[in-house]
Amino acid sequence: MSKSPITSYFEADKKLPMARSIPKAKYPSVQDVLAAAQEICKVGVRTLKSKDNRPQAAPSRHIAMFIAAYSCKKTLDEIAAEFGPFDRTAVSYARRATCYKIWKGVENAPSEDQRQKRINFLRHLEATKELLRSRGFTIIEPTACELQEEAEKSYKPRKDKKAA
């Protein structure tokens, strides 16, 4: 009784039990990201989808758009359509602004107020990603090079209104 030789790598992979048990990556939908952002940031989905620019609404929307842009496997146009009255440039801006905040970190904030806002923003971002991971989703994070490239593209942070 002789065994026939394996003629290709594909046939060898079929015979390994581990190769069949690797789970496929499960990416979140935009609705999943919105639900997680709503839960962490304590902002309603209706507010996340509106053009409301209150201090609580805009950063929460940026977090949701950033995670959706990197993890949902959809185009910027498709993501923007699910967010309501926005176009792809709004999603692109949210992605750049978030990359800037991550890249520059807390130490480079211009004022104590901005530093505290950035700390809260980064905490909410990490908590939202962790919540999605705990629900079984694969979250794609940009590399340091991608963060720097996005941050330096053309994003210019607004001057603090009180300082001007």
Q: What is the pLDDT along the chain (164 residues), one digit of tens a residue?
A: 556 554 555 555 555 555 555 567 899 999 999 999 999 999 999 999 998 888 889 999 999 999 999 999 999 999 999 998 999 999 999 999 999 899 888 888 889 999 999 999 999 999 999 999 999 999 999 988 888 888 887 666 666 555 54
Are 67 and 132 contacting, i.e. CB atoms less than 8 angstroms apart?
Answer: yes
Say which DSSP state 109 is in. -
Calpha distance 84→91 (Å, rounded): 11
Owner of token pair 């923003």: 121
Q: Residues 127, 59: contact at Cβ < 8 Å? A: no
**Closest by Cα among 31, 22, 50 to 132:** 31
Q: Which domains does the chain have, with CATH numbers?
A: 26-153 (1.10.1750.10)
